[in-house]
Structure 1
């Protein structure tokens, strides 16, 4: 009984010994990303953004903070606001993409970058200067 179990385990080991490994040596080798991969990289087009805050309203976690003020040319351009603060807290983001879908002016996109590790949580908040 004991010897048969050992033989079966050894047989499984010998079968898998000749197969290629599944792991990839990450910094040197990289896996190809899927074209629809949503990563941590946000792209914000300031010229398209009207300050409507639709992205902040539809974010299920409420991690987008937008502070706006009426612009001087607001009556001429419709309801465009001057965006003073646009912060995204990446440490709490679940990358669902609802903020991107909610934007009626296509001013917010999610890129494919995923290598944005930081040492503190304060560095995980993307400010308006980093989005530009």
Structure 2
């Protein structure tokens, strides 16, 4: 009697296996083939809007890892001029707290997810590399 119960379970499992055996594969070979990614993806990059940034360094204070380094000097109209803005993306956990903390929406999470580099110095991004460009676009979740 026990054999009948086990035999039925094995038959159901084999039927499911054969059903999936002849389906088209779901996975792709990643470097050669890439899936279409939604524009609303929150990737692992930051986009910096130079015209919105006042140099208040709220983002650097909100970063739990301390990865954002800002050097400023006083400018006109109670604003600061940003001399140095660097983000160490190698240590960043992309939590988005810096984006939420910025009162002027000068930071946004980007769409890119391919950030592998061979040298550690290449993942430290300066203000020229963080600026909004054709390559570096904000996620669909970013505030306009």
Give the structure-2-normalised TM-score: 0.74
Q: Give the C-alpha shift of residue 30 in structure 1.
A: 2.2
Residue of structure 2 equivalent to 1:45: 49
Q: Give the C-alpha shift of residue 21 in structure 1.
A: 1.6
Residue of structure 2 equivalent to 1:118: 117
Residue of structure 1 equivalent to 2:128: 129
Where structure 1 has 5 or more consecutive residues not aligned to the other structure, the ranges are none
Q: Give the C-alpha shift of residue 25 in structure 1.
A: 2.2
Distance 1:27 1:94 in 2: 24
Residue of structure 1 equivalent to 2:27: 23
Alignment of 1:46-61 (within 5 A): 46-61=50-65
Question: Deviations 1:74-132 (Å, cap 9, x if unpaired)?
Answer: xxx22x11111111111111111111111111111111011121001111101112123
Larger mean Cα displacement after TM superposition, 40-49 or 119-128: 40-49
Residue of structure 2 equivalent to 1:98: 97
Question: Deviations 1:10-31 (Å, cap 9, x if unpaired)?
Answer: 6665343112222112234322
Distance 1:129 1:19 in 2: 48
Distance 1:118 1:131 in 2: 16
Aligned CA RMSD, in angstroms, stands at 2.3
Give the structure-1-normalised TM-score: 0.79
Structure with more helix by fraction: 1
- How many residue pairs were aligned? 125
